[in-house]
A and B are shown apart, each in its own frame.
With several copies, the nearest count.
Chain A
Amino acid sequence: MDFDLTEEQRLLRDAVERLVAEEYDFDKRKAYAQEPAGFSPARWAQYAELGLLGLPFPEALGGVGGTPVETMLVMEAFGRGLVLEPYLATVVLGGGLLLLGGSAAQQQEMVPEIARGRLRLAFAFGERQARYDLADVATTATAAAGGGFVLSGAKGVVLHGDSADRLIVTARTAGGPREREGISLFLVDAQAAGVTVRGYPTVDGLRAAEIAFREVRLGPEALLGPRDHGLDLAERAIDLGIAAVAAEAVGAMSALHELTIDYLKTRKQFGVAIGSFQALQHRAVDMFVALEQARSMSYLATMMAEAEDALQRRRMLSAAKVQIGRSARFLGQQAIQLHGGVGMTMEYKAGHYFKRLAMIDTLFGDADHHLALVAESGGLIDAA
């Protein structure tokens, strides 16, 4: 058991932190958000140069063969910088799905392109009626005469769905509307006939899209992973996503906590720094405890993200999502409160961390949703 980073990991972390410090200050971030895609293509190219876009992929596919620990280090630094680029959508979710479920041909076609920064993906799994239920899939893919499929339906709040070249879409190929079995995944060109993408900003300054599929014709090679049994694959990718946003949230919380401590030390009222007031000190401690508990669960999520035992993996990832959600809400709300008015303004970074943390809670299911999953799975500790 060992929480230490390898030398390579330390170098990676330092490099990404330096990049964020240099290229992602508050004003630059604001400028990136104004670019057409809602993020910076220049930064994306830089990530590719640094090897970040190939981090989790094997060297044979143009990657650098990293583990979830490397992804965690990147996401934590990105969380500190409130980075806007579609790393989660393209590398973690899209790349993860390809590695976990793609055919050799699919992998060879697409993974190196991702690593080079020339292909962006988005994972379209959510639907309006489904809330956080991954198995509630109404989008259908029916077998077409002469092979292939016809895809119809709509996906909602697809993270970075408006800048993706290809979409990975869950669709029902068999079974009743909410059964676990009968779901398959498909690769769909965002430009294909019948695909309508409506992109929009999210309240935290990122981008997402509503996407409609009207009788989109797909070849047989569009199928990603096993036919009718794709839900496990989707869940494995979502678990990678949960581990990634857990690290991102820890980065954001950690930066927000530091910002708050600095404010407590410098803001003066009644002739003294407000950090001298014991009630505020104790609040800051409770925030710190929440942060460290979240950090611990981010490590656990990273460790379990690729675990083979699906029951164990799912409940530990759900547990991590619960802790992240709870810690982020408490820490975020208190950070705004301790800042007072200045924390409420668009001109100050604290509010942006707060908003991003609130949205991370809704990503892949909120804390209540995952608490129910933990409880339904029998909890984390077996009865005597």
Chain B
Amino acid sequence: MDLRFTPEEIAFREEVRRFFREALPESIRRKMVDGRHLDKADIVAWQRILNARGWAVPDWPVEWGGTGWTPVQRYIFQEEMQQAPAPQPLGFGVNMVGPVIIAFGSEAQKRHYLPRIRNIDDWWCQGFSEPGSGSDLASLKTRAERVGDHYLVNGQKTWTTLAQHADMIFCLVRTNPRVKKQEGISFLLIDMKSPGITVRPIVTMDGGAEVNEVFFDDVEVPAENLVGEEGKGWDYAKFLLGHERTGIARVGVSKQRIRRLKELAALEPAGGGRRMIDDRRFREKIAAIEVELKALEMTQLRVVSAERQGRSKKPDPASSILKLKGSEIQQAVSELLMEVVGPYAMPYQPDEEGWNEPPIGADYAGPLAPTYFNWRKISIYGGSNEIQRNIVAKAILGL
């Protein structure tokens, strides 16, 4: 048992850190620090910088562009990327549909899609949730009927993140309504430019428009866009949902946000000539979160280490703990980031291109309350915290 990084791991961290320092465009870094909206061009630009360095898809097999890193290296890479802070690569391609295509796709699919995902030539989005199926995903209703050499798709998806930018969507569709609900589902890749697709933005309470409804009205999808076998879509979805593990805790993100919080607390007046950082209660509130975060980081390293030992090939229910605690911590930090500016959390300052009014209060105040509102989603999406508790109760505690 030796919880220190090896010299090789430390050297690797230095290399990664240096790369992020040098390669991350300052305009993107600034937006990340300020918690402002990134546009499509930012995310594409950064993904291509990573791809040029060969670091776009570290987790993939080497033959498809992966790096062959150890779990610890991957952990270091992710942690440093979050702390840079750099945008996460678009997960729908890199972490979701990519691994599914690698595991279950045809050779043609692999050759066509994988390089395009690496370089974000295709922007992917995810078509799983439907209005009637949230936690109960398998009850989905969008149907795909095989007609000759194509499928005819009808139905509706929702909560589709960044669909407004998307070139492709991977969907769970019902190809057989006559069997058990999990068994009639297939996994389809659909071109977003197909006739019959309509995207309607869902504005969230913070004023952002990052999620959408996607409607399918007699959309024709070539049969070759089926991944793997018809009726096996549910298995592929489970594979996909279990694929991402340790990143889910977003420890690096929380570290970076706490740094930011302390920076702001040193600036923000507390009344009476004092600063927020001088307030013992506020300092202790931060410290209490730091303690939980340090514990979570260690918990995450334990999962990474177990993975390195190859002891855990299938989805580790420990990732549910990372999700539970990770979301609580991120939300708690977002609360303090709103609290730190006191009354100046109230002014609404649009986070839009072209908005160039002088800031109200401090220039950093604008995104803080909206981010607090927006981050309530963290305990809802990707399997709500209630679902995570159900998983742990069953899979770990045997209840």
Main secondary structure of the interface of B (DSSP, over half): helix
- Measured CA separation A346–B281 after assembly (Å): 34
Is A362 an interface position by the 8 A CB rule?
A: yes
Q: Among the listed A323, A346, A376, A383, which residue makes an inter-chain contact with B291, where contact means beta carbons less than 8 Å apart?
A: A323
Residue numbers in A under 8 Å from B33 (CB-CB): 384
Q: Among the listed A285, A293, A341, which residue makes an inter-chain contact with B397, where contact means beta carbons less than 8 Å apart?
A: A285
Given contacts A204-B346, A343-B376, A351-B204, could you give 15 more A-B pairs where the C-beta distance is less than 8 Å? Answer: A1-B4, A3-B3, A3-B301, A130-B271, A202-B347, A203-B345, A210-B360, A284-B399, A296-B296, A340-B134, A340-B135, A345-B205, A359-B345, A380-B291, A380-B293
The answer to whether B309 touches A131, judged by C-beta atoms less than 8 angstroms apart, is no
Is A46 an interface position by the 8 A CB rule?
A: no
Q: Mark A250-292, 1 if CB is under 8 A from B, else 0.
A: 0000000000010011001111000111111110111011001
Is B47 an interface position by the 8 A CB rule?
A: no
6 A-B pairs (CB sep. < 8 Å): A1-B72, A2-B1, A136-B271, A203-B370, A284-B397, A341-B158
Q: A284 and B393 in contact (CB under 8 A), knowing A200-B347, A346-B207, A347-B203?
A: yes
The answer to whether B321 touches A203, judged by C-beta atoms less than 8 angstroms apart, is no
The answer to whether B291 touches A265, judged by C-beta atoms less than 8 angstroms apart, is no
Is A150 an interface position by the 8 A CB rule?
A: no
Q: Mark B341-362, 1 if CB is under 8 A from A, else 0.
A: 0111111110000000000110
Among residues of B, the one whose C-beta sits closest to the C-beta of A369 is B342
Among A271, A280, A344, max chain B CB count under 10 A is at A344
Among B309, B346, B348, max chain A CB count under 10 A is at B346
The answer to whether A3 touches B299, judged by C-beta atoms less than 8 angstroms apart, is no
Is A9 an interface position by the 8 A CB rule?
A: yes
Interface residues of B in 317-341 (CB under 8 A from A): 318, 321, 324-325, 331, 335, 338-339
Q: Mark B240-274, 1 if CB is under 8 A from A, else 0.
A: 00000000000000010011101100101111110
Q: Mark A343-360, 1 if CB is under 8 A from B, else 0.
A: 111110001101100110
Among residues of A, the one whose C-beta sits closest to the C-beta of B362 is A128
Is B164 an interface position by the 8 A CB rule?
A: no
The answer to whether B361 touches A128, judged by C-beta atoms less than 8 angstroms apart, is yes
Is B6 an interface position by the 8 A CB rule?
A: yes
Among residues of A, the one whose C-beta sits closest to the C-beta of B388 is A285
Is B290 an interface position by the 8 A CB rule?
A: yes
CB of B85, distance to nearest CB on chain A (Å): 10
Is B385 an interface position by the 8 A CB rule?
A: yes
CB of B114, distance to nearest CB on chain A (Å): 31
- Measured CA separation A136–B275 after assembly (Å): 13
The answer to whether A293 touches B296, judged by C-beta atoms less than 8 angstroms apart, is yes
Residue numbers in A under 8 Å from B384 (CB-CB): 337, 340
Binds B, one of A166-174, A230-238, A297-305: A297-305
Interface residues of B in 108-160 (CB under 8 A from A): 129, 132-136, 139, 158-159
The answer to whether A157 touches B386, judged by C-beta atoms less than 8 angstroms apart, is no
Q: Among the listed A4, A280, A371, A383, which residue makes an inter-chain contact with B305, where contact means beta carbons less than 8 Å apart?
A: A4
Among B309, B385, B390, max chain A CB count under 10 A is at B390
Is A31 an interface position by the 8 A CB rule?
A: no
Q: Mark B362-385, 1 if CB is under 8 A from A, else 0.
A: 000000011011101101110011
Is A382 an interface position by the 8 A CB rule?
A: yes
Is A336 an interface position by the 8 A CB rule?
A: yes
Residue numbers in B under 8 Å from A59 (CB-CB): none
- Measured CA separation A383–B379 after assembly (Å): 26
Is B295 an interface position by the 8 A CB rule?
A: yes
Among residues of A, the one whose C-beta sits closest to the C-beta of B295 is A293
The answer to whether A297 touches B321, judged by C-beta atoms less than 8 angstroms apart, is no
The answer to whether B4 touches A303, judged by C-beta atoms less than 8 angstroms apart, is yes
Q: Among the listed B133, B324, B347, B376, which residue makes an inter-chain contact with A333, where contact means beta carbons less than 8 Å apart?
A: B376
Residue numbers in A under 8 Å from B159 (CB-CB): 341
Is B62 an interface position by the 8 A CB rule?
A: no
Q: A358 and B372 in contact (CB under 8 A), knowing A297-B294, A383-B262?
A: yes
Is B15 an interface position by the 8 A CB rule?
A: no
Is A144 an interface position by the 8 A CB rule?
A: no
Q: Among the listed B272, B343, B369, B380, which residue makes an inter-chain contact with A344, where contact means beta carbons less than 8 Å apart?
A: B380
Among residues of B, the one whose C-beta sits closest to the C-beta of A332 is B376
The answer to whether A131 touches B342, judged by C-beta atoms less than 8 angstroms apart, is yes
Among residues of B, the one whose C-beta sits closest to the C-beta of A296 is B298
By Cβ-Cβ distance, the 6 closest A-B pairs, closest first, are A133-B271, A351-B205, A296-B298, A383-B262, A281-B393, A375-B287
Is A319 an interface position by the 8 A CB rule?
A: yes
Among residues of A, the one whose C-beta sits closest to the C-beta of B296 is A293
The answer to whether A296 touches B305, judged by C-beta atoms less than 8 angstroms apart, is no
Q: Among the listed A177, A271, A293, which residue makes an inter-chain contact with B299, where contact means beta carbons less than 8 Å apart?
A: A293
Among residues of A, the one whose C-beta sits closest to the C-beta of B277 is A383
Q: A368 and B281 in contact (CB under 8 A), knowing A4-B1, A282-B389?
A: yes
The answer to whether B399 touches A276, judged by C-beta atoms less than 8 angstroms apart, is yes
The answer to whether A374 touches B393, judged by C-beta atoms less than 8 angstroms apart, is no
Q: A375 and B373 in contact (CB under 8 A), knowing A289-B324, A340-B135, A382-B259?
A: no
Residue numbers in B under 8 Å from A269 (CB-CB): 133-136, 139
Residue numbers in A under 8 Å from B204 (CB-CB): 344-346, 351
The answer to whether B372 touches A384, judged by C-beta atoms less than 8 angstroms apart, is no
The answer to whether B262 touches A384, judged by C-beta atoms less than 8 angstroms apart, is yes
Is A5 an interface position by the 8 A CB rule?
A: yes
- Measured CA separation A322–B288 after assembly (Å): 8
The answer to whether A296 touches B389, judged by C-beta atoms less than 8 angstroms apart, is no
- Measured CA separation A358–B132 after assembly (Å): 30
CB of A333, distance to nearest CB on chain B (Å): 7
Interface residues of A in 168-186 (CB under 8 A from B): 177-178
The answer to whether B380 touches A340, judged by C-beta atoms less than 8 angstroms apart, is yes
Is B104 an interface position by the 8 A CB rule?
A: no
Q: Among the listed B255, B349, B389, which residue makes an inter-chain contact with A281, where contact means beta carbons less than 8 Å apart?
A: B389
